[in-house]
Amino acid sequence: MMASTEELPLLSHKVVCREDAAHVMSCFFSISSRHEEEEEEELSSASAPSSTNNYYDRRINMLKTGIMHVVCILLGYLLNTSYNPLYKAPSPYHYSSQYYSEQSSIKILGRPKTTEPSKESTSSSPSYHYTRVQTISFQIYTGGAPAFINSESSTSDKKKKKKVHQNPECKGRESNICLLFSQRSCYFQLHRVSFIFLSIHTSTLIWNVLG
Partner 1 sequence: MYSGDTDEVQCYLGLHNATEDVMQRLSIMTDAVEKAYTLSNKDDSILKIFLAPEFYFRGINGAFEFTIDEEEMEMEDGRKCSSDMCQILSGLEQIVADVRFENWLFLFGTVIASEATSRHHQNHLHNKKHDVYVNFAPLYRGYNPKTSNGVGKSFIVPKRYVSTADFLTPLRDLTNRSIFELLDDANDQISDPKVVPNPFEKGAKTKYGYEKWIKYKDELTSYGYNMIEYGWIVLDNITFSVEICLDHLVHRALQTYLADVVTGSQTLIPSSANDTISWVGIPKQQAQISLVSSAGMDVIVGSLVLANGGYIFLQDGVEGNLPPSIQYGQDQCTPYEYEFFGGSQSVKRTSIISATDVTFEYEMNFNYIDYNLYDHQNYWKEKLRGVFSGTKYQPKLTVYAPVSITY
Instruction: Say if residues 160 and 154 touch (Cβ distance below 8 Å).
Output: yes
Among positions 29, 55, 77, 207, the unique one binding partner 1 when judged by CB under 8 A: 207
Quick one: which of 130, 154, 202, 203 contacts partner 1 (CB under 8 A)?
130
Least gap, CB of 54 to partner 1 (angstroms): 60
Q: Which of 12, 52, 127, 203 binds partner 1 (CB under 8 A)?
A: 127
**Nearest distance in Å: CB 161, partner 1:** 11
- Count other C-beta atoms under 10 Å from residue 47's C-beta: 7
Q: Is 113 in the site for partner 1 (CB under 8 A)?
A: yes
List binders of partner 1 among 58-97 (CB under 8 A).
Answer: 91-93, 95, 97
Q: Which of residues 152-171 bind partner 1 (CB under 8 A)?
A: 164, 167, 169-170
Distance CA 147, CA 186 (A): 12
123 is a site residue for partner 1 (CB under 8 A): no
Q: Does an H or E element contain 64, and which?
A: helix 52-79
User: Would you say how long the chain is, in residues?
Assistant: 211
- From residue 36 to residue 65, the character string flagging contacts with partner 1 as x (rule: CB under 8 A) and all else as - is ------------------------------
Contact between 104 and partner 1 by CB under 8 A: the answer reads yes
- Round to whole Å and give the CA distance between 3 and 24: 13
Give min distance, CB of 132 to partner 1, in A: 4
**Contact status: 134 vs partner 1 (CB under 8 A):** yes
In this structure, are residues 26 and 8 in contact, taking their beta carbons and an 8 Å threshold? no
Q: Determine the Cα–Cα distance for residues 11 and 39; give it in Å rounded to an integer.
A: 13
Distances (CA, A) of 161 to 202, 206, 209, 210: 25, 23, 22, 20
